[in-house]
Amino acid sequence: MITASPIARLSPPGANWRQLWRESVTDARELLLMLQLGHLADRLPASDAGFALRVPRGFAARMRPGDPRDPLLLQVLPQLAELDEAEGFTRDAVGDMASRSAQGVLHKYQGRALLIASGSCAINCRYCFRRHFPYGDEMAAAGQWRKALEHVGQDPSISELILSGGDPLSLATGKLEELSRGLAAIPHVTRLRIHTRLPVVLPERVDGAFQDWLASLPLQKVVVLHANHANEFDPAVDDACVRLREAGATALNQSVLLRGINDNADTLEALSERLFAAGVLPYYLHQLDRVQGAAHFEVSDERALDLLESLRHRLPGYLVPKLVREVGGDASKRPL
Ligand SMILES: *Cc1c(COP(=O)(O)O)cnc(C)c1O
Ligand code: SF4
């Protein structure tokens, strides 16, 4: 059991992640003003294309004031380029998300079932397919989970359950407890994996109650974080990673290759090194899903392969992520 640690915690024990989430910046002009970039406000698109700016204040605090090319800012700031139509970029780049998620569970890969635990995220990333499916918390409705768990319970080939979304850590810990109680009745599931960006963008989420829940699970635990740039780490994020590992989780990271944000070898090398310093191993580097409004982030396959080649020369093998793309109908992520 994890009890209060003598190590001074960076976020005060009273810091309530839901409160911090509610206090996120949702006004692009306000964000620009905070960064002394108010003069750029007239370059914002007139409409946010149905996908509002949302960024926790702690994440915004890691952006460099006065830098319009800041790699964290560019991940969240609506751009005029989003309104451009681009060949091959569709609203439904990864299959019919809406109908796939309506079932609550995706079972495409052998041994692993992915549960759409929540549609909410603490941050809105401009490159994400979710920009066209900003659904709320309805996936976590108890009935939905019952159906998903029934499916998993009936198929003994499933040994790993993956919680994804949206972001499953946007759910209250009580909701996660409900889920794990259901899982306890399914002995063939021996591993729980959680795909989440919360420990990076709102590290206060990894609080004592969550840590206790994770530690109490009689399962192998994997947490796959999502950071795209070394600047996303600060001492509070390091602290969250320590807590995840204290709770017995293996910590991995997936990134998306993003033009102008992390598409150079120095940046990717620094990211791998920073992850390792936080006790996290790089797992996947994803080629962008071709969603409408994200074409300006795309990096060519040729360039992506060159970058990976550089990384292999510079880094030990365990710090080189696998470069992959998600292709509908494949039996795994497709390596490039
Ligand atoms: C990505 C994904 C997984 C996990 O794949 P790994 O290669 O094991 O990380 C599982 N199910 C679905 C539907 C996925 O999209
Ligand atoms: S699903 Fe992940 S990438 Fe997409 S908006 Fe949420 S946190 Fe960002």
To test the pocket of ligand 1, the residue of 94, 103, 105, 114 to mutate (highest count of ligand atoms within 8 Å of its CB) is 114
162 lines ligand 1 (CB under 6 A): yes
Which of 13-22, 73-82, 88-97 is the least confident region? Answer: 88-97
Please, which residues have CB within 8 angstroms of residue 93's CB and are 6 or more apart in sequence? Answer: 129, 289, 290, 291, 292
6 falls within a domain: no
107 lines ligand 1 (CB under 6 A): no
| pLDDT computed for residue 130 by the predictor | 82
For 14-28, the pLDDT digits (tens) are: 569 999 999 999 999
Number of structural domains the chain divides into: 2
Domain of residue 130, CATH code: 3.20.20.70
Residues β-bridged to residue 291: 90
Given pLDDT bands bounded at 50, 70 and 90, which one contains residue 41?
A: very high
Query: Is residue 120 pLDDT above 70, yes or no?
Result: yes
- Domain hosting 68: range is 17-83
Distances (CA, A) of 68 to 59, 218, 293: 16, 47, 20
Q: Cβ distance 146 to 181 under 8 Å?
A: no
97 CA to middle of ligand 1, Å? 14
Percent of the chain residues topping a pLDDT of 70: 89
Given pLDDT bands bounded at 50, 70 and 90, which one contains residue 8?
A: very low
Q: Is 23 helix (H, G, I), strand (E, B) or coil?
A: coil
Q: Residue 138: how many CB atoms within 10 A of its CB?
A: 13
Of the two residues 275 and 106, the one the predictor is more confident about is 275
Q: Which of 42, 59, 83 is the last residue of a domain?
A: 83
91 falls within a domain: no
7 falls within a domain: no
Using alpha carbons, select from 316, 320, 233, 221 the residue that is nearest to residue 268: 320
Given pLDDT bands bounded at 50, 70 and 90, which one contains residue 1?
A: very low
89 CA to middle of ligand 1, Å? 22
Q: How far is 260 from 70, CA to CA, in rounded Å?
A: 9
Which of 125-139, 176-190, 265-279, 290-304 is the least confident region? Answer: 125-139
Type of residue at 236: A
Average pLDDT over residues 115-122: 86
130 CA to middle of ligand 2, Å? 7
Average pLDDT over residues 212-227: 98
For 162-180, the pLDDT digits (tens) are: 999 889 999 999 999 999 9
Q: Which ligand is nearest to the CA of 112?
A: 1
Q: Which of 52, 83, 114 is the last residue of a domain?
A: 83
57 falls within a domain: yes
Q: How far is 214 from 279, CA to CA, in rounded Å?
A: 17
Give residue 247's Cα distance to chain centre.
Answer: 20
Same domain, 107 and 147: yes
Query: Is residue 285 pLDDT above 70, yes or no?
Result: yes
Q: How far is 164 from 277, CA to CA, in rounded Å?
A: 25
Same domain, 302 and 203: yes
Using alpha carbons, select from 319, 303, 300 the residue that is nearest to residue 311: 319
Average pLDDT over residues 137-165: 83
Name the H helices within the chain.
17-22, 28-34, 57-60, 73-76, 97-102, 142-153, 173-183, 198-201, 208-216, 235-246, 265-277, 301-314
Please, which residues have CB within 8 angstroms of residue 164's CB and are 6 or more apart in sequence? Answer: 114, 115, 116, 117, 195
Q: Which ligand is nearest to the CA of 109?
A: 1
Q: Which ligand is nearest to the CA of 163?
A: 1
Q: Cβ distance 53 to 77 under 8 Å?
A: yes
Same domain, 243 and 304: yes
239 lines ligand 2 (CB under 6 A): no
Q: How far is 123 from 284, CA to CA, in rounded Å?
A: 20
Q: How far is 40 from 56, CA to CA, in rounded Å?
A: 21
Average pLDDT over residues 79-85: 91
Q: What is the DSSP letter of 83?
A: G
Same domain, 103 and 140: yes
As a whole number, the mean pLDDT across the chain is 90
291 lines ligand 2 (CB under 6 A): no
Using alpha carbons, select from 60, 77, 51, 80 the residue that is nearest to residue 20: 60
Same domain, 37 and 106: no
**Nearest atom within ligand 2 for CA of residue 166:** 1
| pLDDT computed for residue 116 by the predictor | 86
| pLDDT computed for residue 95 by the predictor | 62
128 lines ligand 2 (CB under 6 A): yes
Same domain, 75 and 198: no
121 lines ligand 2 (CB under 6 A): yes
pTM score of the predicted model: 0.93
Residues in the chain: 336
Give per-residue burial for 193-217: e unless 16+ CB within 10 Å, then b.
Answer: bbbbbbbbbbbbbbbeebbeebbeb
